[in-house]
Structure 1
Amino acid sequence: MNFFAYLFQDWRANRQNFKAQSVLFSFRLLQAFNRYTITKIIFYPYFMLYRFWVEWILGIELPRKLTIGKGLSLYHGQALVVNKSTIIGDNCVLRNSTTIGHKKLSDGTLSRSPRIGNNVDIGANVCIIGDITIGDNVIIGAGAVVTKDIPSDCIAVGNPARVLEKKN
């Protein structure tokens, strides 16, 4: 994938949502600069600008070490927090007030972060925490609290999240 295709890989998924397009373009540019030590040094002011603008002003925490597949869609990207160790697959949807990250274990250590498959649609106000795997083609309903694995091709809802039905 060439450099410009890499930067604009989320553009089509966020049609008519300039805020999401600009945030994801900035995120992809940040990741490109983060690959090499020399570019980290040269573009350090951009790293600070990204942090100030995207995280503090817009309220969207997408850290530079985060792994996201192509085609991510952000709907109403306010109060969105994603841990830097999370892995998100291709063509996923994240909505507002969603938290994805690790949890503190009983022995005081931190768990691994979630791994989210391809084509996952995450509703508003969802909390996904812990060392869990969410399969491909999953829909997670608004307000769900996911602390256990969800198999592929399912719809999960509730607190704690449970599989409502298997999709065809």
Structure 2
Amino acid sequence: MKTEKEKMLAGELYNALDPELTAERTRARLLLKALNESREDEPESRAQLIQELLPQAGPGLNIQPPFYCDYGTNIEIGANVFFNFDCTVLDVTPVRIGARTLFGPNVQIYAATHPMDARVRAEGLESGKPISIGEDVWVGGSVVICPGVHIGDRSVIGAGSVVTRDIPADVFAAGNPCRVIRPLDSQG
């Protein structure tokens, strides 16, 4: 029999009030509070908090607090990724972010979702769908990335977009819902 955490990570319906999951979220909340209150003039302390919160982060990760996530442990981040102010990652399933990807302020990455059937929602069950964002992607400010989305390498997502479906590599995409506007050449 799978644990609630195993169900969650597999994208199956699970009970988020499970004691193990509640304890892991509480741990993340305490680390986030410390990170979000950390001082610019204490970079070693901030780096230690980030490493503890996001153990699968590559070198050179730069987060401008405040930053928010559910667990942190389900986020895999490549080298030299930048998160501007006020970003949120709901990482109930794996969220993979490629190297050198840039996030504008207020980007929301939602791997979490809820059942469409109200009766199932009333039972307190939820689920998630993994998200992957390629290398060298630029995500503009206030973008929302919905559950299950894949964004290809080197693409640019315009500010304010709501990404509801996959975006291929090497394109500029924008809108609500986000759609490909044009291909990008090597000159951008």
TM-score (normalizing by structure 2): 0.58
Residues 31 and 81 (structure 1), Cα distance of their counterparts in 2 relative to 1, 3 Å cut = closer
Aligned-residue offset at 1:73: 1.4
Residue of structure 2 in register with 1:104 after alignment: 114
Residues 81 and 134 (structure 1), Cα distance of their counterparts in 2 relative to 1, 3 Å cut = same
Aligned-residue offset at 1:25: 5.7
Matched positions, count:
126
TM-score (normalizing by structure 1): 0.65
CA contact (8 A) 1:27 1:64 kept: no
CA RMSD of aligned residues (A): 2.7
Residues 29 and 127 (structure 1), Cα distance of their counterparts in 2 relative to 1, 3 Å cut = same
Is the helix fraction higher in 1 or 2? Answer: 1
Matches within 5 A, 1:44-55: none
Residue of structure 2 in register with 1:165 after alignment: 182
Q: Find the aligned partners of 1:31 and 1:130 in 2 and give their Cα distance.
A: 20
Q: Secondary structure at the match of 1:110?
A: strand
Q: Find the aligned partners of 1:92 and 1:115 in 2 and give their Cα distance.
A: 12
Q: Structure 2: where are the runs of 5+ without partners?
A: 1-39, 57-62
Residues 24 and 115 (structure 1), Cα distance of their counterparts in 2 relative to 1, 3 Å cut = farther
Residue of structure 1 in register with 2:78 after alignment: 69
Q: Secondary structure at the match of 1:164?
A: strand
User: 4+ runs of 1 displaced by more than 4 Å?
Assistant: 21-25
Aligned-residue offset at 1:27: 1.3
Higher relative contact order (CA 8 A, sep 6+): 2
Mean CA deviation greater in 59-68 or 110-119:
59-68
Q: Which protein shows a greater Rg? A: 2
Residue of structure 2 in register with 1:60 after alignment: 67
CA contact (8 A) 1:99 1:128 kept: yes
Residues 140 and 146 (structure 1), Cα distance of their counterparts in 2 relative to 1, 3 Å cut = same
Residue of structure 1 in register with 2:60 after alignment: none
Residue of structure 2 in register with 1:37 after alignment: none
Is the strand fraction higher in 1 or 2? Answer: 2
Question: Percent identity among equivalent residues?
Answer: 27
| Code of the aligned partner of 1:135 | G
Aligned-residue offset at 1:86: 1.1
CA contact (8 A) 1:93 1:120 kept: yes
